[in-house]
Copies of this chain bind each other. A is one copy, B any other.
């Protein structure tokens, strides 16, 4: 991991708060943050809004990236997300040229981490128990919604 672990974990807490906002709204509890290691600050954050916006592309990572807007410095920023990124979100990280992605957990869903690594992106999985617990609750209590979101 290129950034200090305590910074990564503090950004993950912000992402987890986003995930919980989405869950409380009846949505899918995945949250994401775009952090700038040059300042330690969060540039943008967001959560999955498939249900709330009726938008199948509104995963947590995508929402955070939309909130970050048009930029040219993605390679200097870090994408932090509560769940292993799906093919759409991994592909987006590759397109934009992120060099570092931090993942809360990949036990409940194994995304396209290989695409990230093949593109030379540093990938760190923090195995955060709170992220896992929230996703387990999602998969138990809203299984149809989860299947719809992840394309199965």
Q: Report how many residues on chain A are interfacial, defined by Cβ distance under 8 Å.
A: 30
CB pair A69–B54 under 8 Å, yes or no, is: yes
Give chain A's interface secondary structure class: helix
A43-72 at interface with B (beta carbon < 8 Å): 50, 54-57, 62, 65-66, 68-72
Looking at the assembled complex, report how far the CB atom of A59 sits from the nearest CB atom of chain B, in whole angstroms: 9
**Candidate in A50, A91, A150 with the most chain B CB atoms within 10 angstroms:** A91
Report chain B residues within 8 Å CB of A86. Answer: 91, 95
| A 84-102 binary contact with B (CB < 8 Å = 1; else 0) | 0011111110111100000
Contact residue among B70, B92, B115 (Cβ-Cβ distance under 8 Å from A115): B115
Report chain B residues within 8 Å CB of A72. Answer: 148
